[in-house]
């Protein structure tokens, strides 16, 4: 009896979770599977158009002959690269109308015109016409003819559904697409953006963890960069950093810090003389990283502040009795307490920054040395219209992030758990 109830419970449980499984597959897993599938195909944006025969029907009167009409069918293959086989055409005629001088590819049966056009190659075009005559000497209803739509059928291959796969997309990603330059830029942007936001998050959390007048208001103000709409924030930064009318350049020039305006979002490199050494700075990329740090340090600030408020005050009081200074308190008490939080933040921010698209796209569009792998996905898929190539780049991004996750959990995550 118990075995029967157990089987019924299992069966019921499977039935109940089926809708959830279906939703997960359709919303999450299916797009991932489709992206992997497309990455192994040489397919462009024009290739995803489903090949189908199409016809536009135009009804025209014949001068000085009210008993006759001419129908022009503008036939075409919708695909630019694939042929359509065994194309068949069908159109219905009113009962008082009969065709004359019918094309040899067509026949009439029960007031219907049937045509067989054979195979249509890619980009096929043809103007096919039929003359119609009234069979009862009554005027032909032109408007009624227009309302009857012709039907076309045919067979064709769908490049997205066939099983022809290739590795050419991945070869182009690694050998023909400046991959290592893109990878270096992506890691540079991701690493310094992540580290910078965490460092500023620690400093801000330390600041607002102290008691002072207006602390609550200050905490809410500090959240603005994170909760503000990214489009508005990026546009504001573009106005502030404009080389000619921007506030920052005008201030720097008024205080004679610089002699000529800097195109902070449009200049790739800037050479700085530092103690006799010329340092080549990636100006536009560094500016985008500063925007990234400013926009996302509130997230680190929230996590770290929550952890700081849970640190026992007795630890700081005991350290103060022992004569420890602020720096010693931070290194020996605060830092060990927030190590696990920093570790989690680093993982989350690294993944998000590695996939970051909108900030760079809104500020520079990927120009001036700010082109990263996510920007390359957009350019390949929509600018160049190479869908297969864009999918291949996105799969490479996923593979790189999986490697990062493996290293993180093996090294950094393990040490954080130990601490």
Average pLDDT over residues 124-129: 90
Give 212's pLDDT tier (boundaries 50, 70, 90).
Answer: confident
DSSP 152: E
Residue 10, CB-side half-sphere exposure with 13 Å CA sphere: 6
The bridge status of strand 112-120 relative to strand 84-92 is antiparallel
pLDDT value of position 419: 53
Whether the Cβ atoms of residue 41 and residue 166 lie closer than 8 Å to each other = yes
Q: What is the pLDDT of residue 135?
A: 74
**Cα Rg of the chain, angstroms:** 34
> What is the pLDDT, as a whole number, of residue 360?
94
pLDDT at 66 over 80: no
State residue 351's pLDDT score. Answer: 93
125 three-class SS = strand
What top-level class would CATH report for the domain 171-418? mainly alpha
The span from the CA of 194 to the CA of 319, in Å, is 31
Average pLDDT for residues 73-84, to the nearest whole number? Answer: 88
Which alpha helices (H) appear in 224-282, and where do they start and end? 224-227, 230-240, 247-254
- Provide the percentage of residues in the chain whose pLDDT is more than 70: 96
Q: How many CB atoms lie within 10 A of CB 415?
A: 12
Q: Per-residue pLDDT tens for 150-206?
A: 999 998 887 888 888 889 999 999 987 789 999 999 999 999 999 999 999 999 999
Least confident of 287-301, 311-325, 382-396: 311-325
DSSP codes of every residue in 25-67: IIIIIHHHHHHHHHHTS---GGGGSPP-EEEEEEEEEETTEEE
Residue 414 banded pLDDT, cuts 50, 70, 90: low
If DSSP codes are grouped into helix, strand and coil, which group holds residue 4? helix
Pairing of β 106-109 and β 151-155: unpaired
pLDDT confidence of residue 182: 93
Classify domain 51-155 at the CATH topology level. Answer: Immunoglobulin-like (2.60.40)
* Per-residue pLDDT reduced to its tens digit, 377-411: 999 988 888 888 999 999 999 999 999 988 888 87
Q: Are 73 and 129 in contact (CB under 8 A)?
A: yes
| Higher per-residue pLDDT: 349 or 258 | 349
Other CB atoms within 10 Å distance of the CB of residue 120: 25
Length of the chain: 419
> Is residue 296 a contact partner of residue 395, using CB atoms and an 8 Å limit?
no
Q: How confident is the model at residue 271 (pLDDT cuts 50, 70, 90)?
A: confident
Residue ranges covered by each domain of the chain: 2-39, 51-155, 171-418
Q: What is the mean pLDDT of residues 135-154?
A: 81
Band (47; pLDDT cuts 50, 70, 90): confident
pTM: 0.77
pLDDT bin (cut points 50, 70, 90) of residue 261 is: confident
What is the structure's pLDDT at 145?
Answer: 79
Question: What local confidence, expressed as pLDDT, does residue 1 receive?
Answer: 55
What is the C-alpha to C-alpha distance for residues 48 and 25, in angstroms, rounded to an integer? 23
Question: Among the ranges 28-37, 216-225, 350-359, which has the highest mean pLDDT value?
Answer: 350-359
Mapped onto helix, strand or coil, the DSSP state of residue 282 is: strand
pLDDT digits (tens, 9 = 90+) for 218-235: 888 889 999 889 999 999
Q: Is the pLDDT of residue 21 over 90?
A: no
């Amino acid at each position: 009896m118990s075995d029967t109830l157990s089987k019924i419970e299992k069966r019921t449980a499977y039935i109940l979770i089926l809708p959830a499984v279906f939703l997960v597959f359709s919303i999450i897993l299916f797009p991932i599977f489709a992206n992997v599938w497309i990455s192994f195909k040489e397919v462009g944006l024009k290739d995803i158009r489903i090949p189908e025969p199409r016809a536009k029907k135009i009804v025209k009167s014949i001068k000085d002959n009210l008993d006759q009409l001419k129908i022009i069918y503008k036939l075409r293959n919708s695909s630019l690269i694939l042929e359509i086989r065994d194309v068949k055409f069908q159109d219905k005629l009113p009962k008082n109308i009969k065709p004359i001088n019918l094309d040899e590819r067509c026949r009439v049966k029960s007031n219907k015109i049937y045509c067989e056009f054979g195979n249509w190659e890619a980009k096929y075009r043809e103007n096919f016409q039929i003359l119609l005559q009234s069979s009862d000497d009554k005027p032909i209803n032109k408007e009624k003819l227009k309302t009857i739509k012709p039907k076309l059928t045919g067979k064709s291959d769908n490049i997205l559904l066939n099983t022809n796969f290739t590795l050419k997309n991945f070869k182009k990603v690694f050998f023909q697409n400046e991959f290592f330059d893109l990878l270096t830029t992506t890691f540079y942007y991701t690493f310094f953006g992540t580290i910078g936001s965490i460092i500023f998050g620690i400093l801000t959390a330390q600041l607002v963890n102290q008691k002072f007048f207006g602390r609550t208001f200050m905490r809410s103000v500090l959240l603005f960069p994170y909760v503000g709409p990214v489009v508005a924030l990026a546009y504001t930064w573009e106005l502030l950093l404009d080389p000619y009318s921007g506030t920052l350049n005008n201030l720097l020039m008024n205080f004679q810090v610089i002699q000529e305006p800097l195109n902070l979002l449009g200049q790739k490199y800037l050479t700085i003389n530092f103690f006799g050494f010329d340092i080549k700075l990636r100006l536009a990329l560094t500016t985008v990283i500063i925007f990234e740090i400013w926009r996302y340090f509130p997230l680190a600030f929230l996590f770290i502040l929550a952890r700081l408020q849970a640190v026992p005050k007795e630890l700081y009081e005991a350290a103060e009795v022992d004569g420890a200074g602020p720096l010693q308190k931070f290194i020996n008490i605060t830092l060990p307490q927030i190590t696990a939080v920093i570790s989690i933040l680093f993982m989350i921010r690294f993944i998000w920054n590695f996939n970051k698209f909108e900030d760079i796209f809104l500020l520079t569009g990927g120009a001036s040395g700010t082109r990263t792998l996510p920007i390359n996905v957009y350019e390949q898929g929509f600018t160049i219209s190479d869908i297969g190539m864009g999918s291949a780049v996105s799969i490479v991004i996923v593979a790189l992030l999986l490697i990062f996750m493996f290293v993180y959990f093996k090294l950094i995550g393990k040490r954080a758990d130990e601490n």
